[in-house]
Amino acid sequence: MKAKKAKKTKARPPMRFSQFNALTRLSDEAFARIEQAAGSRIRLDAEGRAAILLALQQFEYVRAYEAAGVDEPRRADLRILAGVLEQAVRFAAQLNESPFLWPYIAELANVDFEGGLDDLRRLATAARKISDVVETARKKRRTDPWLPRLLFQLEEQYVRVSGIKAGVTNKRGKRVGPFVRFCDAAISELPESCKPKTGRQESVGSLCENIFREREQQQTVPGTVTLEKGIWPGKARSSQLKE
């Protein structure tokens, strides 16, 4: 009889970014590659270097956190809780009829039997509603807020040190340009496990173009991004990056 292989468990990242040991490290040579990618326009100062390193490390953190499936089992717990509460409501309602055992149970618990049953119904309804919201959120394909956030942070430093507006050039159907190369070079310094699946430079350019277009439509301030809110177990929250 063959022995069962031990199930590998993914390492659980810390809840706070401040406790995360990032693999992303940028040497002077790495910063030189990022500068050279944009041509002669960019010379990163200490502030720019620190900001770009922080942006990449934060991106690495949220990717590692989400890939680990943190709190994913809570989805099943929530579904079970909703079902148990709904079943409890059915049993309590049945016991509230002859021979009226529910009032005795409520009295023993020092709870009003009518109000207690109503509270139980509200709890069951709320648990089912939240469970449905979570399941819908996990199945629905949503826009990833973290890649736009990273690109906006890179844009902020690019504009600050160069004084030139970040843009994307459409060249024979490919989205290219100094800023695209700048972003591509910075992203390439991330560990393979958390790099966005963009492929080539023109893919990064397409992402930039789409994200900037969406920002213009939303009329948001350059360098900012509105993170999508909602209950989504296992997904990082923006507050974790500030802790």
Q: For the chain, what are the domain ranges?
A: 31-69+143-241, 73-139
Instruction: Work out the average pLDDT over 221-226.
Output: 51
Listed range (21-25, 38-42, 126-130, 150-154) with the worst mean pLDDT: 38-42
Residue 49 · residue 32 · CB < 8 Å? no
**Of how many residues is the chain composed?**
243
**What's 243's DSSP letter?**
-
pLDDT surpassing 90 at residue 180: no
Residue 151 · residue 211 · CB < 8 Å? yes
Among 69-83, 93-107, 222-236, name the most confident range.
93-107
Residue 63 · residue 146 · CB < 8 Å? yes
- The confidence band for 222, taking pLDDT boundaries of 50, 70 and 90, is low
pLDDT surpassing 90 at residue 24: yes
State percent of the chain over pLDDT 70. Answer: 79
- Run of H or E including 169: strand 169-171
Question: Over the chain, what is the mean pLDDT?
Answer: 82
What distances in angstroms separate CA 127 from CA 117, 123, 138, 140, one per listed residue? 15, 6, 17, 20
The pLDDT of residue 48? 95
Tokens of 215: 């920002």
The pLDDT of residue 133? 85
- The confidence band for 10, taking pLDDT boundaries of 50, 70 and 90, is low
The pLDDT of residue 6? 52
Listed range (28-32, 137-141, 185-189) with the worst mean pLDDT: 137-141
pLDDT surpassing 60 at residue 122: yes
Residue 241 · residue 55 · CB < 8 Å? no
pLDDT surpassing 60 at residue 228: no
Tokens of 58: 């934060």
Distance in angstroms (rounded) separating the CA atoms of residues 139 and 73 = 15
pLDDT surpassing 50 at residue 227: no
